[in-house]
Structure 1
Amino acid sequence: MRSGVKVAVVGGVFAVVVGGVGYGAYNVLDGLGNSGVGGGSDTKATSTEVKTGPVTEEEIAETSKAFLAAWAKGDAAVAAELTNNKGDAEPALAGYSASAHVTRALITPGPATGSKVPYTVKATVSYEGRTKPWTYASELTVVRGLTTGRPLVDWVPSVIHPELGKGESLETGESKTASIEAVDRNGNVLTKEKYPSLGGILDELRKKYGQKAGGTTGIETWINSANADGVDKTLLTLVKGKPGRLRTTLDAGIQAAAESAVKKYAESSVAAVEPSTGAIRAIANNRADGYDAARKASVAPGSTMKIVTAAMIIQNGLGSADSPVECPSSLTWMGVPFHNLNNFDMSNPTLKTAFARSCNTAFIKPIKPLDDKDKADTALGDEASRYFGIGQNWQTGIVTVDGSVPPSQGAETAASFIGQGKVQMNPLNMASITATAVNGQFLQPYIVPRDLDNRKFAVASRLPGGVSAQLKEMLHYTATWNQGTATAAMAGVSENKGGKTGSAEIDGHATSDSWFTGFSNDLAAAALVQSGGHGGDAAGPIVAAVLRAGQ
């Protein structure tokens, strides 16, 4: 609300069930006098004894009541005193009216769950004669003060709004960036309401290309990013700017399939690219933290990295798709043991069948000769960078994190050959690796045309003759052989297909990350399900669903 506007709690609008967890609604209206509701008096200590132990149901009810009443009253100082971080809470609460320009709000608490009290906010935002309703839900948690023993609201910015993070603030005014109407490659309009995973991407595209696309600014409520180079997030539009039309490489049909597929698995992400062009066709995530892991994660990719390891083996003359290899149940490298899943072994396999069964030892033992030549520690990173474009500062049009295969030493070198150690990837990186294997030439992924801002694309050397054909054969065999680890997941995908599973062990996690990458015709995709287990069980069905959508 603007400076100078008086607010007060409407008498009799709120109530609390004594000893219970149900409340009435707290109502903020402009132009009214003081209701007489005190701020924080209910939570003042009545003795010098410092209480300990969990907060009681009564303390939760009374503290949340007092806090919400003070916030509704517009008394930021009193509300902040009822939190465990007055210094951060007071300016944030004051900004709700002064910067976000909220002129009316009805706060309705719901039943508490333990120490958490949820509530809905029905607000009105007003700016320069323009008003619009704004509804959302959030929650607070009551904790015991460490030094005072008082029950206090555990202060986090999300108390004010669920999407508000540390160092961020709410603001209403003329938008900083011009509006866009993003469309897919076929001209279909892309919105964050229809494709929730694209929310952050559309905000980035607007910031970067809104003016270039010919858009104009509007009046909005947004979250100011805590990072000076970050992207502000629009929460409410009071007056729309004229959108500039921005064509992307995304495919609405494939994006819809990706959005639907990740919903079936918690902590999942997927990305899809076109091997013949590098065009990004879909990016989707389903994560509790809202993080866009599909393009920003840096985690071990497990056995999906064997695509690059296989290329390195072939190019260094250490084997070929049909050459014999050894697959013992375990082996040691620099005194450190490495095992296959459940300690399985294979009798007289080829590199192709070892790839299809995902034999770890078969992708470590052949490389030992390079260790004698002092090349093993850097060979995988050289292969990934020179031929697969990994770590070459991709300029996709949005923020993406490059994969990383740094030099390693000792046992970490062997671990890197099977996608562990220091190797770090995300689904977009792995989709690109698969696309390169199939196409024979790395083409940097991108989401808007290069000529839009004349950015420089990363480049890499073409895979030497025959290498791509062997990699494609190995991927196809893994997805069609009756013992291939990718066969079950890829059963419903067209015959021109291939895949690779991966399971990455993460320190401190009881269950491994599930990875899967694959291709069908001119589409490659990769998925990650953190703590999802075997690659074919969780990530595999996600990739298969995306590939089927592209058929």
Structure 2
Amino acid sequence: MRTGVKIAAGVVGAAVVGAAGLGAYNLVDAVADGGSGARTKAAPVPTGPPSASETERTARDFLAAWAAGETRKAADLTDNAEAATTALTGYREAAHVEKVAFKQGAATGAKVPFSVTAEVVHGKQRSTWTYDSSLAVVRGQTSGRPLVDWQPTVVHPELTEGRSLRTGTTQAAQITAVDRDGTELKVSDFPSLASVLPELRKRFGEKAGGEPGVEVRVEGGPAGSGDGQAKTLHVLSPGKPGRLRTTLSAAAQRAAEAAVAKHDDASVVAVKPSTGEILAIANAKKTEFNPALSGQTAPGSTMKVVTSALLLEKGKASPGKPLPCPKNATYGMTFHNVEESENPGATFAQDFAASCNTAFVQLAGQIPDDALATEARDVFGLGLEWKAGVPTFDGRVPTDSGAGKAAAMIGQGRVQMSPLNMASVAATVRSGSFHQPYLVDPALDGRELAKAPRALSPAAARDLRSMMRLTALSGTGAGAMAGLGGDVGAKTGSAEVDGQSRPNGWFTGYRGDVAAAAVVPRGGHGGDSAGPIVAAVLRAG
């Protein structure tokens, strides 16, 4: 019987709804309004800027939720809950912030400053990180609620769009770089090492016994924004610096720095012929690019050292053999000497010492097109893959024919070298064989140094040393090398460059077991511009 009542009531209800649709709605409204019979009107959505009290309360509630680890609650108090959730989660998980507290400051209009005290934990490292930030409170466009205007900078002022916070070990351990005798090498003392020391840190920090530090960093950024460089915001641990012994000589480096500083643009490198150890690297211009090691320009007549080695070994010339030096010579095109000098009765050694271009051009037809490139690679190691411990350009001598071959013989055309390459060329003559230049002992990281297929023939090495000595004592290098004494050798060069009113000045030479080469862009004659730089380094070495 009770069941029948329920069914009847249900039927009656359905009939009411079906018979009087509008009346049914009125009935519902009346029930909802407590039986008054009048419909409740929705409250109007607030507009206009949030009041001072709304701003203060919203900021307080947001910061309290963030501090309590209630990420979703904090995000719901912003006008972009999804983005806020991602950022606040990353703050806890990627930045490793275990606990955070805030001190809210007085609002200025809609802006509320606050200070942050964060406890960052990474492995065994724990540190307190403090900084200041701010937020702004705005009115929700649809809800009318006061909300935090979400921006990544709320988390940290450096956290701009597309960037993220991360706590982790540094990419490389710090190093204390020292010279061959244990003297510390600081950029403040040796400015030219500003681009070298970071590279050494990156490659050898941990191998030298260093331990990476732990840092909070801001990383990333939209493509093309210029914000891609990581920036350290807080250091949990500086790590342990490794001690890296280099092949540099503080005395030679100091002399090199002083010598290039006399020019607006100049570069020099010194090496030890018997081993290939790099003793000094200096550039007048202090930029990230290191022209002393990585420059790629025509070496001018300093290339005649390599060309002479080829001619001597092929039997096409000898020091005392007559080889006239005319004003002009033609091989594919017409070549001339500096100041159009000439010496009809010259010997090959005198041509070399006076840097006669035309004498060398006259012999271009007597050597195969690939002979100079082969000599440069097989004897002087040019173009092989050098592994110096820092980035280097390793020389380029392309195979060429016609005028290109003749130009290459005098260091023009497509031949390209750096001061490091030409210092190594002089060192190879001095020692008789190629020793790949290096800045850090290869035993530290197991590098295999480049090896030239063969040594310079003993007869050619002897003849070349005598010709370079003649150049240093009475040829074009005599002015720069005056007073050095001992076992010396030199070769000057002036490399013409399209669009330059003055050629680049080059000089390479050795004294005992130190060889060096320098270039002065637009310096003119190499003996006058680059020569004194090389002599200063040889004197110190």
Give the TM-score normalised by the residue count of structure 2: 0.67
TM alignment of 1:188-203, pairs within 5 A: 188-203=183-198
SS in 2 for 1:463: coil
Partner of 1:180: 175
- Report the residue type matching 2:348 in the other structure: L
Q: Distance in 2 between matches of 1:96 and 1:475?
A: 64
For 1:80-99, what per-residue CA distance to the aligned partner results, in whole angstroms no more than 9, with x for missing partners?
A: xxxxxxxxxxx9x9999425
Contact 2:219-2:231 within 8 A present in 1 as well: no
- Asked whether 1:423 is paired with 2:483, we answer no
Q: Which moves more between the two structures, 168-177 or 298-307?
A: 168-177
Deviation at 1:350, TM superposition (A): 1.1
Seq. identity, %: 47
Q: Distance in 1 between matches of 2:349 and 2:155?
A: 62
Partner of 1:85: none
Q: Distance in 2 between matches of 1:170 and 1:542?
A: 48
**Match for residue 314 of structure 1 among 306, 312, 315:** 312
Partner of 1:407: 399
Partner of 1:79: none
Flag the structure with larger Rg.
Answer: 2
- Report the residue type matching 2:179 in the other structure: D
**Match for residue 510 of structure 1 among 491, 501, 514:** 501
Q: Distance in 1 between matches of 2:214 and 2:347?
A: 64
Q: Distance in 2 between matches of 1:223 and 1:478?
A: 58
- Asked whether 1:252 is paired with 2:250, we answer yes
Contact 1:277-1:443 within 8 A present in 2 as well: yes
Deviation at 1:466, TM superposition (A): 1.0
For 1:338-367, what per-residue CA distance to the aligned partner results, in whole angstroms no more than 9, with x for missing partners?
A: 000111101311111111111001111123
- Asked whether 1:524 is paired with 2:515, we answer yes
Closer, same or farther: CA 402–74 of 1 in aligned 2, 3 Å: farther
Contact 1:267-1:288 within 8 A present in 2 as well: no
Partner of 2:213: 218
SS in 2 for 1:528: strand
Deviation at 1:420, TM superposition (A): 0.4
Structure 2 stretches lacking a partner, 5+ long: 1-62, 67-103, 112-132, 136-150
**Match for residue 338 of structure 1 among 335, 338, 351:** 335
- Report the residue type matching 1:434 in the other structure: A
Contact 1:438-1:472 within 8 A present in 2 as well: yes
Partner of 1:148: none
**Match for residue 468 of structure 1 among 461, 465, 469:** 461
SS in 1 for 2:437: coil
Partner of 1:293: 291
Q: Distance in 1 between matches of 2:217 and 2:534?
A: 34
**Match for residue 328 of structure 1 among 312, 326, 329:** 326
**Match for residue 534 of structure 2 among 540, 543, 546:** 543
Deviation at 1:289, TM superposition (A): 4.5
Partner of 1:368: 365
Q: Distance in 1 between matches of 2:155 and 2:526?
A: 47
Contact 1:321-1:352 within 8 A present in 2 as well: yes
Provide the aligned length of Structure 1 versus Structure 2: 395
Q: Distance in 1 between matches of 2:230 and 2:524?
A: 34
For 1:15-68, what per-residue CA distance to the aligned partner results, in whole angstroms no more than 9, with x for missing partners?
A: xxxxxxxxxxxxxxx96866999xxxxxxxxxxxxxxxxxxxxxxxxxxxxxxx
Give the TM-score normalised by the residue count of structure 1: 0.66
Q: Distance in 1 between matches of 2:465 and 2:477?
A: 14
**Match for residue 352 of structure 2 among 344, 351, 355:** 355
Partner of 2:427: 435
SS in 2 for 1:363: helix
**Match for residue 488 of structure 1 among 479, 485, 488:** 479
- After superposition, the CA RMSD in angstroms is 3.4
Closer, same or farther: CA 240–31 of 1 in aligned 2, 3 Å: farther
SS in 1 for 2:196: helix
For 1:74-128, what per-residue CA distance to the aligned partner results, in whole angstroms no more than 9, with x for missing partners?
A: 99xxxxxxxxxxxxxxx9x99994259xxxxxxxxxxxxxxxxxxxxxxxxxxxx
Closer, same or farther: CA 179–409 of 1 in aligned 2, 3 Å: same
For 1:408-466, what per-residue CA distance to the aligned partner results, in whole angstroms no more than 9, with x for missing partners?
A: 12211110000000100000000000000111010111111111111111111111121
Runs of 4+ off more than 6 Å: 93-96, 168-173, 220-227, 232-237
SS in 1 for 2:469: helix
For 1:255-303, what per-residue CA distance to the aligned partner results, in whole angstroms no more than 9, with x for missing partners?
A: 1111111101111111010000111111111126552000001110000
Contact 2:195-2:289 within 8 A present in 1 as well: no
For 1:178-224, what per-residue CA distance to the aligned partner results, in whole angstroms no more than 9, with x for missing partners?
A: 11111111111112221111122111111111111111223679999
- Report the residue type matching 1:468 in the other structure: A
Deviation at 1:543, TM superposition (A): 0.5
SS in 1 for 2:478: coil
Contact 1:271-1:284 within 8 A present in 2 as well: yes
TM alignment of 1:380-391, pairs within 5 A: 380-391=372-383
SS in 1 for 2:467: helix
For 1:490-546, what per-residue CA distance to the aligned partner results, in whole angstroms no more than 9, with x for missing partners?
A: 113223211111111111112111111110110000001111111012111110110
Closer, same or farther: CA 366–454 of 1 in aligned 2, 3 Å: same
